[in-house]
């Protein structure tokens, strides 16, 4: 419940930032920015699964090709009470997985060949349960809404910067209060998109914690996923996904760039150590 409340709180902050920056443009400017951002993300929402699967050359596997995987996914889908998602395989040594699809009726679980070879059946159940939780919680939809609001904030901030700079050039009155006002507007226009990005990433991290928690309940043992994460972080360091697109990193169960140093504030994933700790605490 804590991660859900955190998500709602972060969405509220995003909305407040949007309303504040939209106030500089009036109702029409705010609506225009929202429509522009919504259209871009609407396309992403409905077609991102096909784009991402094509990007990673993922191939759908039928039950007669991978009965082992289908048995696991079918069993866990029934426990999660969602339709069985399609299963895709990515030919990569990097051990990783992600879920996509705009709702539970269009769910997809994608697994690399590396993760299938690395994990035992229980650990694989932990990973798949995590991904099924993303599908059940409609996290793709939540990410799209967050991206829409953040996109609108960025759009309005850029317009505000141009307006402030053009206004300062046209203004003949150079009184000190006007200069300070201009600086304040520019600072807000610069910092608002950064704050929106940080909040968007924080929402992504909170959904990862929630998927870990619910995934542990679906597979029946938190240690299945905890043990899998321990192997995955080492596996990604050994075989980093060199052809991965940074814009898709938030989809994967572990960051495909985990071997690189990232500031936690700008990371799409919570620290692996913290995720493992929370999972192990669930059995106490």
- Cα 120 to the center of its chain, rounded Å: 26
Sheet of 59-60: strand order equals 59-60, 86-90, 108-112, 97-100
Residues contacting 102, CB < 8 A, separation 6+: 45, 46, 49, 140, 141
Burial 131-156 (b: 16+ CB within 10 A, else e): bbbbbbbbbbebbbbbbbbbbbbbbb
On whether the CB atoms of residues 216 and 80 are closer than 8 A, the answer is: no
The residues carrying an active-site annotation are: 131
């Amino acid at each position: 419940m804590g991660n859900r409340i955190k998500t709602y709180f972060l969405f509220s902050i995003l909305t407040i930032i949007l309303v504040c920056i939209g106030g500089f443009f009036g109702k029409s400017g705010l609506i225009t920015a929202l429509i522009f951002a919504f259209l871009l993300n609407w396309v992403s929402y409905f077609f991102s699964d096909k784009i991402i699967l094509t990007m990673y050359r993922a191939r759908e596997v039928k039950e007669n090709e991978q009965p082992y995987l289908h048995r696991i996914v079918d069993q866990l889908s029934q426990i999660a009470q969602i339709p069985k998602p399609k299963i895709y395989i990515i030919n990569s040594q990097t051990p990783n997985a992600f879920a996509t699809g705009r709702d539970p009726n269009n769910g997809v679980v994608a697994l690399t060949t590396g993760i299938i070879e690395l994990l035992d059946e229980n650990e694989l159940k932990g990973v798949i349960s995590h991904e099924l939780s993303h599908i059940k919680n409609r996290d793709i939809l939540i990410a799209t809404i967050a991206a829409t609001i953040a996109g609108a904030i960025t759009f309005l901030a850029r317009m505000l910067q141009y307006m402030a700079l053009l206004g300062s050039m046209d203004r003949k009155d150079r009184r000190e209060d006007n200069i300070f006002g201009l600086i304040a507007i520019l600072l807000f226009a610069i910092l608002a998109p950064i704050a929106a990005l940080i909040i968007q990433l924080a929402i992504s991290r909170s959904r990862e914690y929630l998927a870990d928690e619910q995934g542990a309940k679906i597979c029946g043992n938190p240690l299945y996923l905890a043990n899998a994460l321990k192997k995955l972080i080492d596996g990604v360091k050994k075989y980093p996904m060199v052809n991965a697109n940074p814009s898709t990193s938030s989809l994967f169960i572990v960051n495909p760039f985990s071997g690189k140093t990232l500031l936690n504030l700008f990371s799409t994933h919570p620290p692996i150590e913290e995720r493992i700790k929370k999972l192990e605490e669930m059995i106490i």
